[in-house]
Amino acid sequence: MAQPMLARLKELRPEANIDVLAPRWVLPLAQRMPEVSEAIESPFGHGDLDLGGRWRLGRTLAARGYAQAIVLPNTLKSALIPLFAGIPLRAGYVGETRYGLLNVLHKLDRKNPPPMVERYLALAGALQAPLPAVAETRLATSSTNLAQALARLSLQSPSDAHPVAVLCPGAEYGPAKRWPAEYYADLATKLGAAGFSVWLMGSEADQAVAQAILDAQPGCAIDLCGRTDLASAIDLISASQVVISNDSGLMHIAAALGRPLVAIFGSSSPKHTPPRSAAARVQYLAIECSPCFERVCPLGHFRCMRDLEPERIFAQALAAAGRTN
Ligand code: SF4
């Protein structure tokens, strides 16, 4: 979501070094972005205030002499480190009433909120230059790391002769963003019959969903959930022939890698967080209650996802992969 903003900064200020301060698990992603000079670990956990730790990190960063900080989260605590680091320009949304902490303040139009990418792009506008067109996201890959990951996981290298379909059945936000596990199982079986090896990809948090898929159709896929770090997940996805994903972080990674992608939306909106890729096929029914942005379907019927049947997603996956049934 943030990468087009980084690309814009680099376009406007090619001489600038852009460093990213982020939690450890995000660092591999920032390191694969060509605009980023250095990815620096933020050691603070979610909800962790640790004022003293933030002060010390801020004072360490002060030695780098940064000219500007752009704060993406809306929390009060996320604005502390740029202040402690003495960075003169500190841009961000007002969020948790951050007057004084930030000094280039942006206000969100809550009646007509822009998509996340545009929301972040506006923060780069603090440099007061003409706004270039929104670019697609893009990530670098590592063939060495890919080969190591394939060997470590005992996976056959994907190729046109041995095509791989990656399924991303998780979505951290909640079950209302997840296409049903039995549908993924049906899809995996269909893809297997069409000649694809099927990999389930996600984090440790997605292992229960992966297990539900394998319980529904034993042997329909290889479960890689929780078995790859983010860098290896990026490289494995980059080698696949097609990706089918819920609206999740891996969906955006597949889009940034330009892989043929079927992106499944239900309770969330493809207007809000669309995959930034011409190779993406968005599947969204836009039924009367959608998007509700709830974590669990408040109506119980979950029609936004249940009415998206596996046959339809299978046809889209084949078309995305350039195959006919
Ligand atoms: S309320 Fe509607 S959009 Fe929300 S999860 Fe249920 S079916 Fe989907």
The answer to whether residues 150 and 117 belong to one domain is no
Q: Tokens representing 3?
A: 């990468």
- Contacts for 37-41: CB closer than 8 Å, 24+ residues apart: none
What is the position in ligand 1's atom list of the atom closest to the CA of 301? 7
The answer to whether residues 68 and 19 belong to one domain is yes
Examine residue 52 and state whether it is found in any structural domain, yes or no.
yes
Of 284, 290, 296, 308, the residue with max ligand 1 atoms within 8 A of its CB, to mutate for a pocket test, comes to 290
Handedness of CA 16, 17, 23, 25 (dihedral sign): positive
Query: Is residue 283 within 8 Å of 266, Cβ to Cβ?
Result: no
Omega prior to 23 cis, within 30 of 0 = no
Question: Residue-wise over 240-251: b if at least 16 C-beta within 10 A, else e?
Answer: bbbbbbbbbbbb
pLDDT digits 0-9 by tens, 235-286: 999 999 999 999 999 999 999 999 999 999 999 999 988 998 899 999 999 9
Nearest CA to ligand 1 atom 6: 297
Nearest CA to ligand 1 atom 7: 302
Over range 107-116, report the average pLDDT.
86
pLDDT digits 0-9 by tens, 22-77: 999 889 999 999 999 999 999 998 788 899 999 999 999 999 999 999 999 999 99
The answer to whether residues 89 and 171 belong to one domain is no
The answer to whether residues 302 and 167 belong to one domain is yes
Of 246, 285, 295, 297, the residue with max ligand 1 atoms within 8 A of its CB, to mutate for a pocket test, comes to 297
Q: Which residue did the predictor score with more confidence, 172 or 184? A: 184
Residue where a domain stops, chosen among 77, 93, 127: 127
pLDDT band at 325 (very low <50, low <70, confident <90, very high): low
Residue 117's identity, in one-letter code, is V
pLDDT value of position 279: 92
What is the position in ligand 1's atom list of the atom closest to the CA of 302? 7
What percent of the chain is predicted at pLDDT more than 70? 96
The answer to whether residues 157 and 280 belong to one domain is yes
The answer to whether residues 270 and 308 belong to one domain is yes
Domain range enclosing 201: 144-320
Nearest CA to ligand 1 atom 5: 297
Task: Give distance in angstroms: CA of 16 to centre of ligand 1.
Answer: 44
| Res. 95: pLDDT tops 90 | no
pLDDT value of position 109: 85
Task: Give distance in angstroms: CA of 303 to centre of ligand 1.
Answer: 6
Is there an atom of ligand 1 within 6 Å of 302 CB? yes
Residues 6 or more apart whose CB falls under 8 angstroms from that of 206 comprise: 169, 170, 200, 225, 226
Handedness of CA 184, 165, 30, 28 (dihedral sign): positive
The answer to whether residues 183 and 306 belong to one domain is yes
Of 268, 302, 307, the residue with max ligand 1 atoms within 8 A of its CB, to mutate for a pocket test, comes to 302
pLDDT value of position 49: 87
- Average pLDDT of the chain? 92
| Res. 93: pLDDT tops 90 | yes
Q: Three-state secondary structure along the chain?
A: CCHHHHHHHHHHCCCCCCEEEEEHHHHHHHHCCCCCCEEEEECCCCCCCCHHHHHHHHHHHHCCCCCEEECCCCCCHHHHHHHHCCCCEEEEECCCCCECCECEEECCCCCCCCCHHHHHHHHHHHHCCCCCCCCCCCCCCCHHHHHHHHHHCCCCCCCCCCCEEEEECCCCCCHHHCCCHHHHHHHHHHHHHCCCEEEECCCHHHHHHHHHHHHHCCCCCEECCCCCCHHHHHHHHHHCCEEEEECCHHHHHHHHCCCCEEEECCCCCCCCCCCCCCCEEEECCCCCCCCCCCCCCCCCCCHHHHCCCHHHHHHHHHHHCCCCC
pLDDT value of position 293: 94
Number of structural domains the chain divides into: 2
Task: Give distance in angstroms: CA of 267 to centre of ligand 1.
Answer: 5
What is the position in ligand 1's atom list of the atom closest to the CA of 289? 2
Measure the CA–CA gap between 155 and 146, rounded to whole angstroms: 11
The answer to whether residues 60 and 173 belong to one domain is no
The answer to whether residues 184 and 77 belong to one domain is no
| Res. 129: pLDDT tops 70 | no
| Res. 300: pLDDT tops 50 | yes
Examine residue 133 and state whether it is found in any structural domain, yes or no.
no
Residue 155: CATH number of its domain: 3.40.50.2000
Examine residue 311 and state whether it is found in any structural domain, yes or no.
yes
Examine residue 135 and state whether it is found in any structural domain, yes or no.
no
What is the position in ligand 1's atom list of the atom closest to the CA of 294? 4
Examine residue 93 and state whether it is found in any structural domain, yes or no.
yes
Measure the CA–CA gap between 290 and 205, rounded to whole angstroms: 25
| Res. 107: pLDDT tops 70 | yes
Q: Tokens representing 226?
A: 């929780």
pLDDT value of position 126: 47
pLDDT value of position 134: 54
Examine residue 118 and state whether it is found in any structural domain, yes or no.
yes
Nearest to 219, CA basis, from 185, 248, 257: 185
The answer to whether residues 119 and 250 belong to one domain is no
| Res. 220: pLDDT tops 90 | yes
pLDDT value of position 11: 86
The answer to whether residues 105 and 250 belong to one domain is no
Residue 231's identity, in one-letter code, is A
- How far from the centroid of its chain's Cα atoms is residue 223's Cα? 20
pLDDT value of position 132: 52
pLDDT value of position 226: 96
The answer to whether residues 105 and 234 belong to one domain is no
Query: Is residue 237 within 8 Å of 253, Cβ to Cβ?
Result: yes
Handedness of CA 227, 233, 236, 237 (dihedral sign): positive
